[in-house]
Structure 1
Amino acid sequence: MAYDFDLFAIGAGSGGIATARRAAQYGAKVAVAEFDRLGGTCVNRGCVPKKLMVYASHFASHVQEAAGYGWTFEPGKFDWTQMITAVKDEVTRLNGIYQRMIDNAEVTLYKGHARIVDHHTIEVAGQTVTAEKILIAVGGKPNRPDIPGIELAITSDEIFHLTHQPKRMVIFGGGYIGCEFACVLNALGTEVTQIIRRDQILRGFDEDIRTEVQEAMQRHGIRIVTDELVSLEKTDEGLQVNLKNNNMVLADVVGLSALGRIPRLENLGLENTRVEVKKGAIVVDAHSQTAESNIFAVGDCTDRINLTPVAISEGRAFADTHYGGKRQVMNHDNVPSAVFTTPEVATVGMTETEAIAKYGEAGIRVYRSRFRPMYYTLPQLEEKTLMKLIVHVQTDKVLGAHMVGDAAAEIIQGMAIAVKMGATKTDFDATVGIHPSSAEEFVTMR
């Protein structure tokens, strides 16, 4: 049977576009559908605009720290509108780059919501098209709990469109998105209260890392409260946040950015296929194949590891396998990640808890280094960096590397190569450190 396209990708985020371009480079006839702006969550409502806001939030502390080095600056003034406008302009610029990438790859773009009619047929923008293979790369969306007054709250999607900086903000949840925005808003001068359901933030990260970051966030002025959201209501004094334990907090803006994201599967027409959905996510095998042999899925809609580079790697592995004659499998082991809080967090490999569960306490050795970086000595600030290595006793392999501190993401990216290659603690010890630097601590722990 002749199809209109060899591959039809639903979703033009990082995963969808990476797959479409790679398949087209191999000579496949490819189309992609997107109802929103090109680039997906990362470009429009995630990593890129968030990281730009993180940069903006650091300048006030830089001025304070500069005084220790003999610099004197006039009191600064922060303009929220100017920052938000600049961030939006950069996102628009990136949208244009994504459009050019699609055009240069000769990928057909359909603007509209795509719906699967059957396992080879898609409805989009008032048209019906067919494809030999379908790739679902629709990403995720913020989770909104069903409680009274929830419509008064914003999510991480809307925080980039606030026209005015809130004086008081309540953020719910202790995940990485909520923690990042809590730090950004706090550093920009907003009074931030973060409500978490458990005693610590960043569930799933190494325990030492969680403790270090939470204590630092509180030291920097973020109020962290353990409680649960019951309802929201609008009052003359502001938004009233009602909590389970008879607590109440007033805010100008309430953010649900930390209550997680869920796959965006509504109105996809999955019921017209054999594609299986479990716990709200599309079920795929190691090759990103669904229960329907010609339908595949990558990225956040599969809820494996919800990171932009992972979605890109999954998509490229699919394209290499099916159109490039190179059978590839995305390896989800030892994927590094970062949390752009203040201080920054980065990690790769096993946590101490995970390593103990697999090898037992006697089967691992833990190395820690906690210190004040040289940068903070002249400003006389008690900012700390924490570094941690988890080592398998029997093989001497480094199972995990974790860090809290300045440039953690940049440093752990290098550590991730070593961990991925199976480097041993002896290899780390034999590596000459760059002095003076924080990074050298990773090769001098004894």
Structure 2
Amino acid sequence: MDPPTGSSSEDYDYDLLVIGGGSGGLAVAKEAAGLRRKVLLLDLAAPSPRGTKRELGGSSLNTNSVRKFLQQASLLGKAIQDSQKYGWREKEPVSHGWTELVEAAQQQVKTRSVELKKELKRFGVFYLSARAEIVAPHTVEVTDTNGSKRRVTAETLVIATGDSPQYPGIPGDREYCVTSEDLLSLPHPPGRTLVVGGSAEGLESAGFLFGLGLPVTVMQQHDLLQGFDQKTAQKIENHMIVSGVKFLYHCSLTKVEQTEASSKDVVSDDSVATPQQFPKGGLRATIISKEGQTIQEDFDTVLLAVGRNANTSDIGLECVGVQRSQDTGRILVNERDQTSVDHIYAIGSVQHGRPSATGLSVHAGTLLARRLYRGDSILCDYSNVPTVVLTPLEYAACGLSEEKANVTFGEASIEVYHSHYWPLEWELPGRNKNSCYVKVICHIPDHERVVGLHVMGPNAGDIVQGFAAAMKCGLTKEQLDATVGTHPGSAQVLTSLTQTQRMTEALKMRGNC
């Protein structure tokens, strides 16, 4: 929809101009338009270095949807194996078709992007696929896809440009490596894959590909799942190692180059997929070990998951004095999501020091529009935000990690209740006994208020959602114990926790555990 000429007020073309079409930007634009404000949304995400196009919708659509599709593909493969114990007989050998997955997922992303554009039109938001740069207070230069430029003005600006995968700056990184954003743009299965980085993005990608029957190596450069509970992260790592994922520790990737390797047959895992033929040519990764030894190893795909950079470097923030963190490049904001410039706000992963999650961005964007245009005073609460990591054993958390709780309150003031459990649906096929795990972290002086809750197992994200609401209301361990567990179901384990971590450690000291 082309924005009309003319002013929404005496001084400006628009009441609100949103730069960025991710979940937070879409939310604030739609809510403001619903409150009868004149809104322009500008979004033109550049393709990845490998040419992967990014659709309207930001990481919520382009990354999170793909994550869920890949997780489901992997889980279905495991379910096929389990199905035999439930009486299902397969007439033919089951194999996985990469092309079919890619085509279906790409079509779904495109369809959802078209729906988002229709939704913006229905709300009355003016949308342009164009690049935006702030050139003066209240003034943005708009560059459309054919290169033509013009300037528009707005009373209020919202920055919601999100972030994008980081590249390590080594020879061959942009030419030959991919990120999780590129996975479903590959025309053939990734084959033998090196995943660089132990971030959530890295472990998820490693788990997805291994679940499709592909050999995967994870090169861990720092702590796994930094910012998450480290004892739970270690359990995820152990589960992946036992399953067959290879890990390299304390290594650095220094170069990736193309080789003239011959075609390879990749043997599938547990008959989920049949051996697949990969095209000629491969990649040689040069790796330096902690001891300084140089290792060269060949892979079909090198996937980078070494972090994400905020998309804030080329939108004119310096021109008007919007302050950013020198360390992260992310925008400094106050409790009202307001930047150092009064009429400019920031939402989502561009904010410095705030958690990043799609649901949080939507919530924050909606509340911001209501404060601006409805007179509301409710601020977004950035504490106790539930999050999920789609590793082979799904991991979801809300609140503090054990490490953070100990630093915040002191180890003596924290009680950690925990338990392993075995989902009932896993018992018949005899799968992964006692791999699933929960822990509840309580602040003892505050009536054992629950300050952290962690679940590792099937559907962990859905399990944690309800407990997140309870934690917002000040959930205590006594109230948790008084809750009736749903049977049969895995979540009930959280309502009957009696073993504490101190008790477990004491038993280990005595040799009884």
Q: Unpaired segments of 5 or more residues in structure 2?
A: 1-9, 46-54, 262-281, 499-513
Deviation at 1:248, TM superposition (A): 2.6
SS in 1 for 2:181: coil
1:30 is aligned to 2:42: no
Which range moved further: 376-385 or 181-190? 376-385
Q: Which of residues 287, 299, 307 is equivalent to 1:243?
A: 287
The 8 Å contact of residues 224 and 230 in structure 2, kept in 1 or not, is answered as no
Q: Percent of counterpart pairs with the same letter?
A: 34
Between the two proteins, the alignment pairs up a number of residues equal to 443
> In structure 1, what is the equivalent of residue 245 of structure 2?
222
> In structure 1, what is the equivalent of residue 271 of structure 2?
none
Tell me the distance in 2 between the aligned counterparts of 1:13 and 1:295. 17
Q: Which amino acid aligns with 2:211?
A: A
Deviation at 1:316, TM superposition (A): 1.3
> In structure 2, what is the equivalent of residue 75 of structure 1?
93
Deviation at 1:220, TM superposition (A): 1.7
Q: Unpaired segments of 5 or more residues in structure 1?
A: none
Q: Which amino acid aligns with 1:409?
A: G
> In structure 2, what is the equivalent of residue 352 of structure 1?
402
1:425 is aligned to 2:501: no
Q: Which amino acid aligns with 1:365?
A: E
Tell me the distance in 1 between the aligned counterparts of 2:312 and 2:454. 34
> In structure 1, what is the equivalent of residue 314 of structure 2?
267
Tell me the distance in 2 between the aligned counterparts of 1:4 and 1:104. 20
Q: Which of residues 394, 418, 436 is equivalent to 1:368?
A: 418
1:336 is aligned to 2:386: yes
Backbone CA RMSD of aligned residues: 1.3
Tell me the distance in 1 between the aligned counterparts of 2:84 and 2:161. 48
Deviation at 1:410, TM superposition (A): 0.7
Deviation at 1:141, TM superposition (A): 1.0
> In structure 2, what is the equivalent of residue 413 of structure 1?
465
Q: Which amino acid aligns with 1:106?
A: G
The 8 Å contact of residues 119 and 295 in structure 1, kept in 2 or not, is answered as no
The 8 Å contact of residues 363 and 394 in structure 1, kept in 2 or not, is answered as yes
The 8 Å contact of residues 119 and 292 in structure 1, kept in 2 or not, is answered as no
Tell me the distance in 2 between the aligned counterparts of 1:179 and 1:217. 9
> In structure 1, what is the equivalent of residue 441 of structure 2?
390
1:92 is aligned to 2:110: yes
1:129 is aligned to 2:176: no
TM-score by length of 2: 0.84
> In structure 2, what is the equivalent of residue 289 of structure 1?
338
Where does 1:159-178 land on structure 2 (aligned, <5 Å)? Answer: 159-178=183-202
> In structure 2, what is the equivalent of residue 116 of structure 1?
134
Tell me the distance in 1 between the aligned counterparts of 2:297 and 2:199. 20
Tell me the distance in 2 between the aligned counterparts of 1:350 and 1:166. 36
> In structure 1, what is the equivalent of residue 49 of structure 2?
none
Residue by residue, what CA displacement relative to the aligned partner does 1:38-68 show, whole Å, maximum 9, x if unpaired?
A: 1112202x11122011101111210111122
SS in 1 for 2:204: helix
Tell me the distance in 2 between the aligned counterparts of 1:406 and 1:201. 20
> In structure 1, what is the equivalent of residue 14 of structure 2?
5
Tell me the distance in 2 between the aligned counterparts of 1:38 and 1:207. 35
> In structure 1, what is the equivalent of residue 504 of structure 2?
none
> In structure 2, what is the equivalent of residue 204 of structure 1?
227
Residue by residue, what CA displacement relative to the aligned partner does 1:134-167 show, whole Å, maximum 9, x if unpaired?
A: 1111111110111122121112221220010022
Tell me the distance in 2 between the aligned counterparts of 1:330 and 1:181. 31
Residue by residue, what CA displacement relative to the aligned partner does 1:232-261 show, whole Å, maximum 9, x if unpaired?
A: 1212232111111123321111111x1111
Deviation at 1:77, TM superposition (A): 1.5
The 8 Å contact of residues 68 and 380 in structure 1, kept in 2 or not, is answered as no
Tell me the distance in 2 between the aligned counterparts of 1:307 and 1:109. 24
Tell me the distance in 1 between the aligned counterparts of 2:20 and 2:391. 29
Tell me the distance in 1 between the aligned counterparts of 2:445 and 2:230. 24
Moved over 4 A (4+): none
SS in 2 for 1:113: strand
Tell me the distance in 1 between the aligned counterparts of 2:78 and 2:299. 25
Tell me the distance in 1 between the aligned counterparts of 2:141 and 2:12. 14
Tell me the distance in 1 between the aligned counterparts of 2:230 and 2:314. 40
Tell me the distance in 1 between the aligned counterparts of 2:295 and 2:335. 46
TM-score by length of 1: 0.97
SS in 2 for 1:247: strand
Deviation at 1:70, TM superposition (A): 2.3
Q: Which amino acid aligns with 1:386?
A: Y
